[in-house]
Structures are given as structure tokens and as C-alpha cells.
Structure 1
């Protein structure tokens, strides 16, 4: 009897904008049991990946890596995927310009593409260089509002699942006043639903609370909207999976990101999980408020 082929090696290629948290992401995977290599020359990546191993592999590369170009990274990932020995996931860490500039000012480090210019010029240059890479990434993580601890948890939630191939649906609730999530492929505006903020008993709670969820669900438009939303997502996911997409991001937004978006995100995650899909769920504004409380409001 012929032995089954060895499973493909899980490989996370972590890249992104300088200051967006690549080193933190690599360390998060290392803490989760991955073999981690940072700043590997791009030409050595196929040889290292195809050598195999008994642990998944995380490799960090950026614009300073020897032999780096967005096109070269894209071609390398495509070749690894075609070889069938490796299951690569290209992870891109993004961040708003103003947050990156503030991080470089805080650490007093020079941006690698700034030269004699200020950090803003360096960020703009690097964003242009990496734009094609971001478009081709399997997973984009926006670190603008993430502390190092929150980024570590997010990376482990999304990636630390050795041997779990297939499509992951990433659902995120958010507040429109703070901007839509940059990594979402689909964004839905829930501000047409009645707002629990104006119900005094519900205002201090959030959408995870049963009373808040019931209030949102009792809106006359919610039932039909949610049924169509779930139907559309469930129709699209098999097609995205067939195309080889590893992640599909859904953003659900309302005014404050605490009530309507949270309740709907919880409901959609439960529905997709019941249908057998792997789902990660994040409530961006609740995380931000918790971080502000823990940090004394900073």
C-alpha cells in the first residue's frame, strides 16, 4: 500500500510597511511553536521552505531584504504554491501613515526609505513600492489601532493553526467615525438599524449582551437584511475558496462600533460557523476601549 504524501509545509511570509509590526508578528508565531526566520534573503526562501521540517515556518521579509522587490516576492510565492510541497500564506502588515510617522518619532528611528527626508516621505515611498504586494496578499492586517499585545493575539488567532488548510473568514465590527478596516474585502453599513445607544438601559452595554442583540434583531429591517447578507456570503465563500483564497475579510460598521455592528458580527459569525466555515471574530472598538482603560486612557 502506497504511503500518503507528506502534508505541505505551512509557510507564513510576513511582510509590510516598516513600523507596522513585522517583528512582533514573527515573534508571535515563534511563541506559537513556528520556526521563525527574519530578514531572510529572498533567494534563499525556496530552498529553506522546500527543505521541509516538523514545524510550520514563518519568514519575515521587507524592503531592506536582499533581493527584495514586490514582483520577486509575488513570483516566489506563486512558484512555491505551484510546487505543492509548501502551503504559503502571504501576510501584509498595513498601518495608517500618521500612525507610522508617530511610531518613528517615538522611537527616534529613521525610516529605511527616508534618506535625508522626513519619515512622511519614506512612508510614502515605501507604500508605493509595496502597493502591488499588498494587493496580492492572502491576509492584510491593519495595525493602526493595535498594541503589540493585541497584534500578537491577532496573528496567533489568524495563523497559529498548523495543518488547517482552507478559507478563513475574518469578521470585524467597527465604527465608521474611525474609518473602515483597510483589510476587509466586504464592508456593510449598519447605521440604518435602530440604535441601542438611545435606549438608556442599553447604552452602557455592547452588542454581545443578549438584550442589546435582541433590540437590534427586533428592528423591522434586520431579519430580511441579515438573511440576505448571510445568503450572499455563503454563496461567495465557496467561489473564493475555489480560487485558492486563504482569507476573506468582512467589516460590519455602525456609528460607534459598540452595539449594532457588534451584535450583527456575532450573529454572522455564529451562522457561518454553523455552516462549517472557519471564522475569526474581532470587535475593533471594544478592543480599543479596553486598551485605553488598561493604559490609563493614553
Structure 2
């Protein structure tokens, strides 16, 4: 039997955002995890893993910030891996500053870049150092409001499908009143469509229900909106594939995230799948309050 080329994932991100939990979850999913590996050793680890006699088929490397040379070294490693045809899927774990401070206070630890300064100063230094790395990430997971179990479920969804071909589209509906998602490539606004919330017989239904879907998709401009989004994404996918990007994240918002954005995402997902595109759908705010 031919040797199967391993999958390669590189995990980094903000200290305190969940790298250790991510490493443990991937290990349970059957990945070989190299934790706390400095950038200068990553290439050697990949070479050993890709050797013909290696038993490892899926490698996840966790690396973190230890010095100001980190970001430059890691950028160089990414460039070298890409040039060699072994570009990894890049996962960046993040959380907002307030949540990171709470987590550090809970475990009574200092930030690795804090030095003699404050915890906030350490976080600020790390964000500055990792800005370019974050911009290159294929997947950004914001763990601010995630429990350990939520993070594990997200990872199971993301990485159970890595062996699929082509660029996978993550479609997400959301409500602007709950905040726009941070980790998206394309953001679309469906608030120009009439709101089913103000139709009494539709108020308690949601965008996944046929009465609301028919109402939203029957409004003037709705089909043109979906058509335009479909054509935009289909035009982008070949370019993403050429650039080695494995995922594209698309979010559609309305006021509360229950009616218009949900109906549009469901229709867009249906039409993308009809074109053969692999799609994952998440309705982020479906179970929050009803006004949407």
C-alpha cells in the first residue's frame, strides 16, 4: 500500500487562548501532537514526519511566543514549508483581552511577555508580535465565550474534514446586536430585507422554518443578493485554492440572527453544495432572543 501523506496543522495564538486544550483534543482525535515546539525545530519535525518510513499520518505542531524573534522565525518557517509544497493548515487561537486577563488571574500566573510590567502590557506585546501570523491563519478560533467542551466540538468539526479536497466554506449567520464575528473573510449584511419579526404570524418562527424562508427569499432583492454572494464565492474559491488556503469563512448578519440571515445562509449553503462546494453551516445566534 502506498504511504499516505500526512496532514499538517500548525497551532499558535494568544497565550491563554486554549492551545493546551487544542493539543489535547487533537491528540484524542488521533493526531500526533508536537507541543511547545520552537519555530527553528518545526522544519526538522516535518521532514521526519514526511519520511517514507514514518508511521505518522497526521501531525499537529503547537508553538507559542517565547521571544521577539518568534514571529520572524515562524514566518520564515511558513514560507519554507509553502515553498516545499508542505504548507500547513494554520490555526490561530484568540480571545479578547478581558477574557485573557480573567484566565490569568484565575490561575495566578504571569504572561510570558509581561516581564516587570502589567498583564495588559504583556498581552499588548504579544498581539503586536503575532499580528502578521494571525493575518496568515487559515482558521481563527475565538475562544472568548467558549468552554473547554465548546472548543473541543469546534475542533472536531474543523479537523475531521481536513482530508476533503478543495476549499471548504464556513457559512455563519449572526445578529449584529450580539456583535459581528471577528474571524471571517467575507461579511454580508441582510438587514436591507424586510424583517419577519414584525409580521406577527412569523415572529415565533426562525429562518430554518419554511414560512420565514419563503417570506425572506420572496422579498425584492433577496434572490439577487443570494445570486451575487454565490457568484462572488465561486469566483474566489479558485484563487484561495491557488494560494493554499483551505478554508474561507463567510458571515451573513441581520439584527438578531434568527430570521433573515439564517434564511439567506441556508439558501446560500444549498446552492453552494449544488455547485459541489464543501460547506459547513453555523447559526451563531439562533437561540438568543427573537428579534431579528
Q: Closer, same or farther in 2 for the Cα pair 1:68/1:146, shift >3 Å? A: farther
Q: Quick check: 2:39–2:70 contact (8 Å CA) kept in 1?
A: no
Asked if 1:95 corresponds to 2:95, the answer is yes
Deviations, residues 47-86 of structure 1 (Å, cap 9, x unaligned):
222222333011111103x8961121121122123223x3
1:136-175 equivalence runs, <5 A: 136-175=136-175
Find the aligned partners of 1:54 and 1:189 in 2 and give their Cα distance. Answer: 44
Find the aligned partners of 1:272 and 1:24 in 2 and give their Cα distance. Answer: 33
Alpha-carbon distance, 1:102 to partner? 2.6
Q: Quick check: 1:26–1:60 contact (8 Å CA) kept in 2?
A: yes
Structure 1 residues without counterparts, runs of 5 or longer: 291-298
Q: Quick check: 1:42–1:68 contact (8 Å CA) kept in 2?
A: no
What residue in structure 1 maps to residue 61 of structure 2? 59
Alpha-carbon distance, 1:87 to partner? 4.6
2:13 to 2, 6, 16: 16
Find the aligned partners of 1:177 and 1:115 in 2 and give their Cα distance. Answer: 38
What residue in structure 2 maps to residue 226 of structure 1? 226
Asked if 1:78 corresponds to 2:75, the answer is no
Alpha-carbon distance, 1:8 to partner? 3.3
Structure 2 residues without counterparts, runs of 5 or longer: 50-54
Find the aligned partners of 2:142 and 2:227 in 1 and give their Cα distance. Answer: 29
Find the aligned partners of 2:163 and 2:87 in 1 and give their Cα distance. Answer: 10
1:37 to 34, 39, 42: 34
> What is the TM-score when the length of structure 1 is the normalising length?
0.87
Alpha-carbon distance, 1:162 to partner? 4.9
Find the aligned partners of 1:103 and 1:50 in 2 and give their Cα distance. Answer: 36
What residue in structure 1 maps to residue 178 of structure 2? 178
What residue in structure 1 maps to residue 119 of structure 2? 119
* 2:219 aligned counterpart, secondary structure: coil
Find the aligned partners of 1:262 and 1:118 in 2 and give their Cα distance. Answer: 42
Find the aligned partners of 1:283 and 1:112 in 2 and give their Cα distance. Answer: 36
Alpha-carbon distance, 1:125 to partner? 1.2
Find the aligned partners of 2:109 and 2:282 in 1 and give their Cα distance. Answer: 31
Find the aligned partners of 2:286 and 2:35 in 1 and give their Cα distance. Answer: 32
Alpha-carbon distance, 1:165 to partner? 4.0
Q: Quick check: 1:208–1:263 contact (8 Å CA) kept in 2?
A: yes
Find the aligned partners of 1:105 and 1:203 in 2 and give their Cα distance. Answer: 43
Aligned residue pair count: 284
What residue in structure 1 maps to residue 22 of structure 2? 25
> What is the TM-score when the length of structure 2 is the normalising length?
0.88
Cα-Cα RMSD? 2.3
Find the aligned partners of 2:203 and 2:16 in 1 and give their Cα distance. Answer: 36
